[in-house]
Structure 1
């Protein structure tokens, strides 16, 4: 009769059988998923990557739509700015228009009153131009500047050569941009 305790190979085989049996009993759903995970890992990684791609595409489309909306709103604002840029200047000119209409409606024939009215209207207009940053160019005695003045002729004068002798028509500048150059006569070189 064999004694299982005396035979070391029998002991080892029982121990191995017991270990397999114990391992089978100790398998839980979590450990089974962990053991199966390495086999499903490429599919899971692919699914994760595809989900991330979809998320990034949606994010990109939202960002693109927002950019288009911002661009469209900015374009509309620029259009409105161009369309209504003169609005404040026009509002300043309305009293001038009212004064001119009142002068035309006056039938008294009193030239003194008409002259006073025209003088007041001119002051209103000058005030509106000043508030609109329109500056008058009246360069009598100044050095001739071809960027702001237009010489009509050169005349002999007692002034320095190339200086403005007379202004035939005033010029106008708005924010350092010439609207109309002043028409001038310039002193001839001696």
Structure 2
């Protein structure tokens, strides 16, 4: 609708309101003039536009902040796990440092063994803390979690049973991290 038609329509509405409102000159009071009404509506439109622009800008800022936080969460998702791995590495470094100590061979071997056992214990504790579990290799072969790399003859095992574990497998909650590498009986 063109501006002229809008103005005409507004004028007709104002005239109609004045006519219906005012039966006589005495009871009639002057309604808002057309120019005042247009100015008021323009001001309301301007305020609405400003409000919309502020809300839109806020939305865009929130969207950008959430996107940035998402990428930070992805980048630093393993931070807690990495911090927990610092203890086992410290234990390994202490075991290695003890190799330089002035000890006889038997005592040195004992200290190194103790350091390695402590390191493994620290790794197991860290894994448990982060829901990483070792895959069980007792019993039947399960192709979902085991990787058979060889078949061997065994009198002690039935065909398809796991004879030995060559490399441990691990699960993260219910997701396979690495299958167990096993040998199975013929």
Shift in CA distance, 53/147, structure 1 to aligned 2, threshold 3 Å: farther
Bigger mean CA offset, 116-125 vs 54-63: 54-63
Residue of structure 1 in register with 2:149 after alignment: 152
Deviation of 1:187 (Å): 3.1
Q: Distance in 1 between matches of 2:47 and 2:147?
A: 66
Secondary structure of 1:145 counterpart? coil
5+ residue gaps in structure 1? 1-22
Cα separation, 2, equivalents of 1:167 and 1:94 = 28
Q: Aligned pairs, how many?
A: 156
How many angstroms does 1:46 deviate by? Answer: 4.2
> RMSD of the alignment, in Å?
2.6
How many angstroms does 1:162 deviate by?
3.0
Given that 1:129 and 1:135 are in contact with CA atoms closer than 8 Å, whether structure 2 keeps it comes out as yes
Deviation at 1:79, TM superposition (A): 1.9
Helix, strand or coil at the partner of 2:85? helix
- Unmatched 5+ stretches in structure 2: 1-23
After superposition, where does 1:1-190 map in structure 2 within 5 Å?
Answer: 31=29, 33-34=30-31, 37=32, 40-41=33-34, 43-106=35-98, 107=100, 108=103, 109=105, 110-141=108-139, 143-157=140-154, 158-188=156-186
Query: How far apart, CA to CA, are the structure 2 residues paired with 1:54 and 1:160?
Result: 84
Larger radius of gyration: 1
Q: What's the CA shift string for 1:126-179, capped at 9, x where partnerless?
A: 1111112211124231x3222222121233445344332221100111121111
Alpha-carbon distance in 2 for matches of 1:63, 1:180: 49
Kept in 1: contact 2:162–2:183 (CA 8 A): yes
Deviation at 1:111, TM superposition (A): 0.9
Question: Shift of residue 116 of structure 1?
Answer: 1.4
Structure 1 window deviating more from structure 2 (155-164 vs 73-82): it is 155-164
Is the contact between residue 140 and residue 167 of structure 1 (CA under 8 Å) also seen in structure 2?
no
What is the DSSP-based 3-state SS (H/G/I as helix, E as strand, rest coil) of the residue aligned with 1:168?
Answer: strand
Normalization by structure 2: what TM-score? 0.71
